Amino acid sequence: MLVIKGLTKYFAKNTPHEILAINNFNLRVKKGDFITIIGSNGAGKSTLLDLIAGTLQADQGEIRLDGEVITSQPEYRRARWIGRVFQNPLLGTAPYMSIEENLVLSLKRERKGLRIALNKKIREYLREELSELGIGLENDLTKKVGLLSGGQRQAMTILMATMFKPKVLLLDEHTAALDPESSKKILKITQELVEERKGDLITLMVTHNMKQALEVGNRTIMMDRGCNILDIEGEEREKVDIDYLLKQFSKLRQQEYIEDRLVLG
């Protein structure tokens, strides 16, 4: 269970450029939930994921994971439970290291020791996991990751984010930077890997694709100015279509427009 209470985050706090990125945000996520998050640019989607992962520290509020408060834990400590895939396929892997070195680094999330990292048994295990991805890298374990395509690197990142059995999986528009074919494949791999862990994994996926937002997962939230303005699941979600979401978006725009007019006259 992931519980977020009163989460608030400012950027450039106490300066004339202060921005309220996350505004008293609340969310309860059950084990097994796969939430898609939509919202316009600057709505706070990525900031929310950064706060959960610990890349950014919250100004107020609380994040609890299975009862434990993780709000002020450093990022590397939360990584024991949280797997993450970034929008940029280059961010999730180390280019000058080999495929097997990248994978083995993600396998053990606790304090790393003076054991030799790779041996025959671990290589065999990594090869098996890779072959299940179906991208044909299992025979190139010593190849440098920098030589792979964006799609292959993103597939590796997803494997690295799920292989260690995390409690939470954070996907930040992880198919957006890929071509349509790779994008489809990556989404399929994501769904398969999440399906494998059905019931005990929490997944949060940010997307700009409305169709994807409704088709993937079991719950959808819409964010605007750091708030959670729509939260639908189950039957209610099935009734909703893309048009409805688009209308919600244009309603928000309208409101912004009116507010701007009030201010600017």
Tokens of 55: 């890349």
Q: How far apart are CA 26 and CA 3, in angstroms?
A: 8
Tokens of 151: 């799609």
Q: Select 88 or 212, whichever has its Cβ closest to another protein.
A: 88
Three-class DSSP category at 8? strand
N-to-C CA span, the chain = 47
Q: How far is the CB of 152 from another protein (least distance, A)?
A: 12
Q: Say whether residue 113 binds another protein (CB under 8 A).
A: yes
Q: How far is the CB of 157 from another protein (least distance, A)?
A: 9
Single out the residue of 14, 41, 116, 198 in contact with another protein (rule: CB under 8 A): 116
Site string for another protein, 157-196 (x = CB under 8 A): ---x------------------------------------
Single out the residue of 3, 19, 118, 227 in contact with another protein (rule: CB under 8 A): 118
Instruction: Give the Cα-Cα-Cα angle 63, 67, 70 (nearest 5 degrees).
Output: 35
DSSP string, 202-240: EEEEE-S-HHHHHHSSSEEEEEETTEEEEEEEHHHHHH-
Residues in a beta bridge with 36: 205, 220
**With contacts defined by CB under 8 A, how many residues of the chain interact with another protein?**
36
Under rule CB under 8 A, which residues in 35-94 are in contact with another protein? 53, 55, 74-77, 79-80, 84, 91-94
Single out the residue of 33, 59, 101, 192 in contact with another protein (rule: CB under 8 A): 101
Q: Select 108 or 237, whichever has its Cβ closest to another protein.
A: 108
Q: Select 84 or 185, whichever has its Cβ closest to another protein.
A: 84
Tally of CB atoms within 10 A around 27? 18
Q: Select 39 or 83, whichever has its Cβ closest to another protein.
A: 83
Three-class DSSP category at 64? strand
Q: How far apart are CA 145 and CA 150, in angstroms?
A: 10
Single out the residue of 1, 12, 69, 147 in contact with another protein (rule: CB under 8 A): 147
Q: How far is the CB of 248 from another protein (least distance, A)?
A: 32
Residues 6 or more apart whose Cβ sits within 8 Å of residue 64: 1, 2, 3, 4, 5, 70
Residues lying near another protein in the complex (CB under 8 A):
53, 55, 74-77, 79-80, 84, 91-97, 101-102, 104-106, 108-110, 112-118, 144-147, 160
